[in-house]
Amino acid sequence: MNDTIIITGANGNVGAFFAHEYAAKKQKLILIAHKSDQRIADLRNNKNVEIIFIDLANLAETKAKIDEIIIKTGWKPTRLIHTATVRSHDFKPLVETEPELWSNIINTNIMGTFNLLKSVLPHFIANQYGKIVLFASNVTRIGLPKGSAYSASKAAIANLSRTLAVEEANHNIIINTVSPGPIRIDESSFSESYRKFREEYYEEKLREIPLKRCATFGDLFGICNFLLSEDNSYITGEEFYITGGKL
């Protein structure tokens, strides 16, 4: 089997870190980005890496481009890490939130996940093997004031994972969710107002974390790598909260 990992959101903070970790292990990678590959540009000439641009909100495009790259390379995808997401950025309670913004976040995060799985699962089913990690967030259990759409979309993704774990178990497909608490990321592309919002959020949340720090990309990679490894043959349908001890 040509063991290949698909990573979405590959130009994001978490996705790019994972891409570099697996590239260093000489793992075959299909990296899915949206509009930019700046954080993974150094991997463009790596013979084990393919970078493709996809709007996951578009099912036809998602399926066509994933099928195309699999045919082109001859690689067989066996693992999927889905980190792509869009966050709330208006910081308003639901009653004040514009319907268009709410709809965009829900459509991008939930339908994007549906479209991705709809396109990748047939390949896993054909191989009678697959391991999947979907990224949600600790907000699935605590909510997110002034971020209701994001919170709702992540809860939907976690529950989708539980459902698929049952649906696809007979195809030897394992699927789990990783739900981190606060993570320190590169915020240079964010607006000043959003950076201020995040700084206040971090300050508040750090007081609640027993380990008194945010999760690192390495913390996330460790649990994710285990869930996708041959060491995990039984854990499926679970949601793992990476929160430094915060319940």
- Return the active site residues: 150
Round the CA-based radius of gyration of the chain to a whole number and report it: 18
Q: In what order do the strands lie in the sheet with 130-135?
A: 49-53, 28-33, 3-8, 76-82, 130-135, 173-180, 239-242
* Residue in this structure with the two tokens 């319940």, named with its chain if needed: 247
Q: Which residues, including other chains, have CB under 8 Å from residue 52's CB and lie 6 or more apart?
A: 30, 31, 32, 33, 65, 66, 69
What residues contact 109, with CB distance under 8 A and at least 6 apart? 85, 86, 150, 153, 154, 156, 157
In angstroms, rounded to a whole number, what is the distance separating the alpha carbons of residues 61 and 32? 12
Q: What tokens were used for 150?
A: 């994001």
- Closest residue by Cα to residue 116 from 16, 7, 1: 7
Using CA atoms, how far apart are residues 171 and 132, in angstroms rounded to an integer?
13
